[in-house]
Each structure stands twice: as structure tokens, then as C-alpha cells.
Chains A and B, each alone.
Chain A
Amino acid sequence: MALHSAIKGKLISVIGDEDTCVGFLLGGVGEINKNRHPNFMVVDKNTAVSEIEDCFKRFLKRDDIDIILINQTYAELIRHVIDAHTSPVPAVLEIPSKDHPYDASKDSILRRARGMFNPEDLVR
């Protein structure tokens, strides 16, 4: 069954805790393509950092994904990979989770902006 042929637009993918994934899937962003690859990953306490990193890299490679949403707490675990991604597509948005409020000082793009004034901040 070729359900995905000629669909206009790109996907929003999610890497997050249970509530974040359930919420955004309720909102209608979830998809499983013909290769049975979902565009979401639920992270729990048993998920290894390498799994998060692999999933993030997989989403980066997919040309049908335009936005990657990732809880900031998990973004912190793979910060080196997120900082290395400078292309505007897909856009990586660090979002807060239920347990961890948004911290502007950790956000990749705001750290880059801060570096415009004090380049030493970027070398940490």
C-alpha cells in the first residue's frame, strides 16, 4: 500500500519523554512510513545515549523531515552532535519537558548568538 506517494509538505519529528511524544502524536505529527520507520522516539530511563544519538542522526539524514523537536534535557546528552548541525534544514528545536523547564543558556542557537559578543564562551 503506497500511502506516502505525492504527499505535500514535510514532517515534524520528536525525540522526547513519554508525555512529550504522546502529546505531539495526539497533535497529529506522528507517521510510520513504508519502511516502518517512525518519526518519533520515546526516551525513558533505560534508553542509552547512543540510541538517542543514532536516532537524531537518522532524522537528520531523512529528507522528509523539516523540524526535529528534542527535549532540552536529551539535547544536552548529545550536545556535540546538535552543535555540529548548522544547516537550517532540518531545524532542531530544543523544547522544555514536564520535568525540565526551558533553559536559554543551554540552547545551541542562543549560545552561538552569545559567542558573537564573547567568543571565549563557545570554547568550553
Chain B
Amino acid sequence: MSTETDRIAAGQLLDSLYLDMFHLIEAHTQSRIDIERTNSSGAILLARTKFQQGGQAISTAQIPTENSAEFNALCRVVSVAEKKWAEISVERHAVDKEKGYMEPLHWFSVLPPLSLRNAMDKFKKCIEIVAESTNVQRELSAVLSGIDRLRRSVALQ
């Protein structure tokens, strides 16, 4: 009797996890579409800048390499709670050359055109979506692991 009750409870929990999984898959796919859309808008603005400033104005030749001086990222992810992989959000640091926080726009141009500034805004937005997408992906991964464990335990009963 107890085993039968356990099986029913496990089945209900499995149903609930599958439902969560479908919602998370939908959210995951939507976030990738949002990343794609924002990324494309940014890429179009970068292309416009290249068209206006010349092909080599925005390229890997301008970005720092291993031989460049060390500098800090302006944008980092922080955990909302003190767990190993709790929900994350993006935190931005103000530009401060003395502390190693450089303005990325100035790698490409001293007087950055409007299209480049707009492209930067698009990629900043994209980073926010990336953080949200990471939260969804981790939750989905945890749900998948839960389903896997539960299926194994049900199979053993």
C-alpha cells in the first residue's frame, strides 16, 4: 500500500517537473531569440560604423591582446544569494582609468560616432539578457537532473 502511494506521489512529482521543464524550455528558447535579435541590431550598427569610418575602424586590431596592459571588466555577474550557483544579475562598474576600468568605446575611436554608441547600448542590453538566460538555463539543468534522479528511483521501486 505504502509502495503504491509512493509511486503515485513520485508520478505526480514527475508530472510537475515535466511541466516546469516545458515552461523553462519555452523561456530558454525565447531568451535565445531575444539574444539573437539584440545581437543582430548591434551587429547592424557596427556595420554602419564600419561603413562610415572604414572597414578597419572596428575590428580585432583595436581590441586588447595578451600584450596589452591589464584592465578590469566593467561588467560582472553577481549572485543574488550566497549559494554556489544562485540567481545572478549583472553589475556595472563606472569607468575609472586609475583603478583599471577602461572605457571600451575609446579602443575604437576618441570621438565615437553615434552608431557605435548605439551599438554599445544594444550589446549592454544583450548582456542583461544573457544573465537572465543563464538563470533559466541553470534552473532547466536542475529540473532535468531532478527528473533523471526521480525516474531512476521510480525504476528501482
Contacts and interface: CB of A to CB of B under 8 A. Distances in A.
Nearest to B99: A3
Contacts of B10: none
B58 A11 contact: no
A3 B120 contact: no
A66 to B, nearest CB: 5
Interface residues of A, number: 55
Chain B, interface residues (CB within 8 Å), range: 35 or more
Contacts, number: 177
Contacts of B25: 110, 113
Interface in A90-118: 91, 93-98, 101-102, 104, 107, 109-110, 112-113, 116
B60 A116 contact: no
Given A22-B46, A91-B134, A112 B144 contact: yes
A29 interface: yes
Given A3-B72, A8-B76, A42-B60, A19 B142 contact: no
A81 interface: no
Given A29-B127, A91-B138, A3 B71 contact: yes
Contact of B134 (A24, A29, A32, A93): A93
Contact residues of B: prevailing secondary structure: helix
A89 B68 contact: no
B28 to A, nearest CB: 7
Contacts of B120: 26-27
B91 A8 contact: yes
A20 B45 CA distance: 13
Given A98-B40, A109-B137, A66 B77 contact: yes
> Which 5 interchain pairs have the tightest Cβ spacing?
A9-B76, A28-B74, A3-B100, A27-B123, A31-B73
17 contacts: A11-B73, A12-B130, A22-B58, A22-B63, A26-B120, A28-B127, A30-B73, A38-B65, A42-B63, A67-B130, A88-B84, A91-B134, A98-B39, A102-B32, A109-B137, A109-B141, A110-B28
